[in-house]
C-alpha cells in the first residue's frame, strides 16, 4: 500500500508541475483579449521614428503625403512655380507665388510654403526666411494644369538701417512647397535682401489659396 501511495503522490506531483508549465509557456503570444503581443526590438536597435504631421520646411498636411480628403500631396517634382504681378503697399510689395500642377494626377497643397532669398552661384540663403502670416488655410486640390497660390510680402529693405540690414543683391527665392523637403528656385530680377538681421521681417508668406 505504501509503495502504491508513493507512486500516486509522485504522479500527482508530476501532473501539477506539467500544469504550471503549461500555464506559463503554453497557449498563444497574445495579450489584451486576443491582440498579438508587440514584437520587441533587438538589442542595440532603435524603433522607427514617427513623422510629425507638419514636417519639412513649410508647414503642410498629414504625414505620408495626403490630405484629409485622401487626395495625395503635391510633390516638388509635380509643381512649377512663378511670381505673379504685385501690388504696392506701405513700404512693401505683395506678389502671389503661383504653384501649377504640371503632373498627371490631381494633388493638393495645404498650409504655408517655406520661402527665403538666395544669392550667389551656390544659392546660399540671404537673411531670415519668410514668417508665416495669418491662419492655416484649407486643403487646396489641383487637377493637372490647375494652380494655387500663396501671397508673399516683400518689404522694401532700403527702409531698414543699412548697417543692420546689410543690403545684398539676390538671385531669387528658394521655395519649399508645404510638407516638402525638396525646394524649387524662382528667379527674381533686381531684388535685394538683408544679409544681416533687420529690425523687421523682410519676407512674410500667407497660407495656400485657390488661384
Question: How many Cα atoms occupy the beta-carbon half-sphere of 195 within 13 Å?
Answer: 10
How much is the pLDDT for 60? Answer: 45
Please tell me what DSSP assigns to residue 33: T
Residues 6+ apart with CB under 8 A from 175: 81, 97, 113, 114, 115, 183, 184, 185, 186
Contact 170, 188 (CB under 8 A): yes
pTM for the structure as a whole: 0.69
C-alpha cell at 8: 500516486
Q: What is the pLDDT of residue 100?
A: 98
User: What is the pLDDT at residue 87?
Assistant: 84
Low-confidence residues in the chain, pLDDT < 70: 1-67
The CA distance from 200 to 128, in Å, is 10
Reported as a single tens digit per residue, the pLDDT across 157-192 is 999 999 999 999 999 999 999 999 999 999 999 999
- 122 Ramachandran zone, left/alpha/beta (phi>0; psi -120 to 50): alpha
Q: What is the pLDDT of residue 28?
A: 31
Q: Which three cell numbers stand for residue 81?
A: 512655380
Amino acid at each position: 500500500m505504501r509503495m502504491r501511495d508513493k507512486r500516486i503522490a509522485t504522479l500527482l506531483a508530476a501532473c501539477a508541475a506539467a500544469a504550471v508549465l503549461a500555464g506559463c509557456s503554453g497557449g498563444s503570444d497574445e495579450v489584451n483579449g486576443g491582440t498579438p503581443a508587440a514584437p520587441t526590438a533587438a538589442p542595440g536597435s532603435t524603433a522607427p521614428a514617427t513623422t510629425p504631421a507638419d514636417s519639412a520646411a513649410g508647414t503642410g498636411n498629414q504625414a505620408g503625403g495626403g490630405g484629409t480628403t485622401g487626395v495625395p500631396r503635391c510633390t516638388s517634382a509635380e509643381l512649377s512655380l512663378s511670381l505673379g504681378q504685385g501690388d504696392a503697399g506701405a513700404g512693401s510689395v505683395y506678389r502671389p507665388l503661383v504653384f501649377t500642377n504640371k503632373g498627371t494626377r490631381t494633388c493638393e497643397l495645404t498650409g504655408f510654403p517655406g520661402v527665403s532669398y538666395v544669392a550667389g552661384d551656390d544659392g546660399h540663403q540671404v537673411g531670415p526666411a519668410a514668417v508665416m502670416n495669418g491662419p492655416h488655410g484649407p486643403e487646396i486640390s489641383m487637377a493637372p494644369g490647375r494652380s494655387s497660390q500663396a501671397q508673399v510680402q516683400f518689404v522694401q529693405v532700403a527702409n531698414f538701417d543699412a548697417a543692420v540690414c546689410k543690403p545684398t543683391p539676390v538671385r531669387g527665392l528658394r521655395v519649399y512647397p508645404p510638407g516638402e523637403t525638396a525646394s524649387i528656385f524662382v528667379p527674381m530680377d533686381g531684388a535685394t535682401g538683408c544679409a544681416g538681421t533687420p529690425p523687421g521681417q523682410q519676407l512674410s508668406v500667407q497660407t495656400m489659396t485657390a488661384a
